[in-house]
């Protein structure tokens, strides 16, 4: 079945947001039988969404396009909006600005509170968790801090006065990591910074030995700021599980219908091919970690069989 060309329009949700976004779909004549218009709310999270020179890229953008191409009986629009505003609009029942419009977002994490006003699809996005990011050539220096499974024992690393790091002021890394951050925040080997991008530059310059990043985030800054620096992500003990996110639509009859359609697409693609968009935003070493973790997520029994030695 040939893909029907789709119309994408960009709304300026609040003043000061970046300019028009061009997506790889052209205008088409509206289908009178179309089930509605999906308005995709795009928060400014790189490298999930990257808006540059009038073009929207990033792994979540590519994933969004992949699903939109398979929902070609809908009209599609783009709206850049902060996540907090999107959630507030969905919560307050103002998500559908016009009859037939369905407000959706591609990078939402389901919670019990959000389920009250958002209909969520099955898991779509898989992410590697916050990790300790180092210069690849320094890997041997971190062996004393690894457990038997090769995971960083964070308490030992952060307590070591010879291993320096920097943390972004005000950022939360999740409960487990935040507890260690609070314990060692004022240690002399830890410096505060105001910009996540500066962490990668400090690492390249040798000013610090390690830092915290999502692996895809680290690779984004590496490509932008330090393209000659090879990096590697070390899993943190107790924080190694893949993170899951998905598409959520406003919990209206039309939104629930759209989610049902999306779930059908997910069910017919059990190998999750769209997650290759995310894998492309990882360093080669981190991509190996992700591919193995994804295989285990999709089919644990098959993954374990691959690890069983042949007789």
Sequence spans of domains, the chain: 37-127+242-307, 131-234
Q: 3-state DSSP call for residue 49?
A: coil
**Which residues make Cβ contacts (< 8 Å) with residue 221, sequence separation at least 6?**
196, 197, 199, 200, 213
- Which CATH code for domain 131-234? 3.40.190.10
Q: What share of the chain is helix, strand, coil (3-state, %, to 5)?
A: 35, 20, 40
pLDDT tens, position by position, for the chain (311 residues)?
A: 333 333 344 443 332 333 333 333 333 333 445 678 999 999 888 999 998 887 899 999 999 999 999 999 999 999 888 888 888 888 887 555 555 678 999 999 999 999 999 999 999 999 999 999 999 999 999 999 999 999 999 999 999 999 999 999 999 999 999 999 999 999 999 999 999 989 999 999 999 999 999 999 999 999 999 999 999 999 999 999 999 999 999 999 999 999 999 999 999 999 999 999 999 999 998 999 999 999 999 988 654 544 454 44
Matching residue, tokens 């700021």: 225
Q: 3-state DSSP call for residue 306?
A: helix
Q: Which of 183, 113, 127 is nearest to 154 (CA)?
A: 183
The pLDDT, as a whole number, for residue 51 is 86
What are the backbone angles phi and psi of residue 37, rounded to the nearest 5°?
A: -115, 125
The pLDDT, as a whole number, for residue 55 is 87
Common-topology check for domains 37-127+242-307 and 131-234: yes
Q: 71 exposed, middle or buried (CB, 10 Å; 0-12, 13-18, 19+)?
A: middle
Enter the pTM of the model.
0.84
Rounded-to-integer distance, Cα 2 and Cα 238, Å:
46
Domain 37-127+242-307 has CATH 3.30.465.10: no
């Amino acid at each position: 079945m040939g893909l029907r060309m789709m119309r994408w329009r960009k709304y300026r949700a609040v003043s000061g947001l970046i300019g028009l976004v061009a997506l790889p779909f052209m205008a088409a004549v509206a289908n009178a039988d179309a089930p509605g218009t999906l308005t995709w709310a795009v928060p400014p999270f790189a490298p999930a969404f990257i808006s540059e020179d009038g073009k929207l890229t990033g792994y979540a953008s590519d994933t969004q396009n992949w699903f939109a191409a398979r929902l070609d009986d809908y009209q599609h629009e783009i709206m850049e909006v902060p996540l907090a505003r999107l959630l507030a609009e969905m919560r307050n029942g103002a998500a559908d600005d016009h009859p037939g419009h369905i407000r959706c977002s591609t990078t939402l994490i389901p919670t019990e509170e959000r389920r009250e006003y958002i209909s969520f699809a099955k898991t779509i996005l898989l992410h590697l968790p916050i990790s300790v990011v180092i210069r690849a050539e320094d890997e041997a220096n971190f062996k004393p801090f690894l457990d038997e499974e090769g995971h960083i024992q964070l308490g030992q690393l952060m307590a070591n006065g010879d291993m320096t790091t920097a943390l972004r002021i005000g950022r939360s890394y999740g409960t487990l990591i935040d507890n260690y951050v609070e314990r060692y925040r004022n240690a002399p080997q830890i410096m505060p910074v105001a910009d996540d991008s500066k962490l990668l530059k400090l690492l390249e310059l040798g000013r610090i030995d390690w830092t915290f990043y999502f692996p895809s985030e680290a690779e984004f800054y590496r490509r932008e700021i330090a393209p000659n620096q090879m990096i590697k992500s070390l899993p943190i003990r107790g924080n190694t599980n893949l993170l899951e996110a998905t598409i959520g639509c406003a919990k209206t009859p039309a939104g629930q219908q759209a989610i049902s359609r999306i779930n059908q697409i997910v069910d017919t693609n059990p190998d999750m091919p769209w997650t290759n968009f995310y894998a492309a935003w990882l360093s080669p070493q981190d991509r190996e970690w992700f591919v193995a973790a994804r295989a285990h997520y999709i089919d644990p029994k098959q993954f374990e069989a691959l690890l069983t030695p042949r007789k």
